[in-house]
Each structure stands twice: as structure tokens, then as C-alpha cells.
Amino acid sequence: MQAAMPKPDEKYLRLLRDNRFKATEPRIKILKVLDLSPRPLTATEIHRKLQRSGIDLATVYRSVNKLAEAGLLVRVGLGDEFTRFELRREGHRHHIVCSTCGTVGNIERCNLHELLESITKSTGYHNIEHEVLFRGECNACYLNRAAIVVSE
């Protein structure tokens, strides 16, 4: 590791302070777990990942909701009864869920702008927000199914 690198948790500390949050240990740990996770997580999943640090589930719930209200986290709906959270990043992303195994993929680029413009034109609505969830068959499930078909 390079000597000039900031301490790994400093980024979260700064993020909290920049948003007028007290940089408590649970908050820092929650931000880190979400930052390192390849997919959005529920409060329960975050809690499970933090088990060793002795942070209780109620604290996780309270923290993620506060952080989401402040805009540091984004609430993600994946079409089931759970609310998941992810770190807010530059721009916004969408998700795609495998209908077979539930694996979640990230769609980093949103190019729905043209559609939104045409909606403004046809409806007269401005500042349109959108929530879109894509579903499909992940590559593993696709290949798996293809293999079964071949062997039949």
C-alpha cells in the first residue's frame, strides 16, 4: 500500500461530515459495507455483514433511514417487499434482476433522457423523475437452461 493513501475509512468520515452528520462508527461502517457491495442491500443484510462489530439491527435501520433522508443513500426497490439501500453516486443507475435466481446487476448508464423529453412534450410535465426496474435472465441461468435443453 502507498504511504500517501488516506486511511480507508476517511472517505466515509468526510462524506458524513460534509453532510453535517456526526461520524459515528455505525454510520461509517454502514457506508463502507454499501460502498463495497456490488448490489444494494437490505438493512438486515447490512446488519449481517456487521455482525462482528456488535451493531444492532435497530441502529442499522435508524441509520440507513436517516442517511437516505439526507440523500447519502438511495432506496432501491427491486420489485419485492424489501427496501434496499445503496450509496448515492454520480449520476444514477438502474438495476436488472434475474427472474430465475434473483441476482442483481447494475446498469451504470441511464439513457432515458430522450424518452423523458418526449414525455415532457406529450404531457407538459417537467422535472420528471423515474424509477425503472429491468428483469431478465442472467447469463448463468441462461447458459444453465441452454445446457439442460441440449442434454435432453
Q: Which residues bind Zn ion (CB under 5 A)?
A: 98, 100-101, 103, 110, 112, 138, 141
CB of 18 to Zn ion, least distance (A): 25
Which of 29, 95 has the CB closer to Zn ion? 95
CB of 89 to Zn ion, least distance (A): 13
CB of 113 to Zn ion, least distance (A): 8
Could you tell me which residues are beta bridge partners of residue 74? 86
For 1, 18, 43, 108, 132, the CA distances from 67, given in Å and listed in that order, are 31, 12, 12, 22, 22
CB of 47 to Zn ion, least distance (A): 25
Which of 57, 128 has the CB closer to Zn ion? 128
Which of 65, 100 has the CB closer to Zn ion? 100
Query: Using a CB cutoff of 8 Å and minimum separation of 24, what contacts does 18-21 make?
Result: 19/70, 19/71, 19/72, 21/66, 21/67, 21/70, 21/72
Amino acid at 103: T
Which of 58, 107 has the CB closer to Zn ion? 107
First-to-last C-alpha distance (Å) of the chain: 52
Which of 32, 39 has the CB closer to Zn ion? 39
Collect all residues with Cβ–Cβ distance below 8 Å to 102 and sequence separation of at least 6.
Answer: none
Compute the C-alpha angle 121/77/24, nearest 5°: 115
CB of 152 to Zn ion, least distance (A): 20
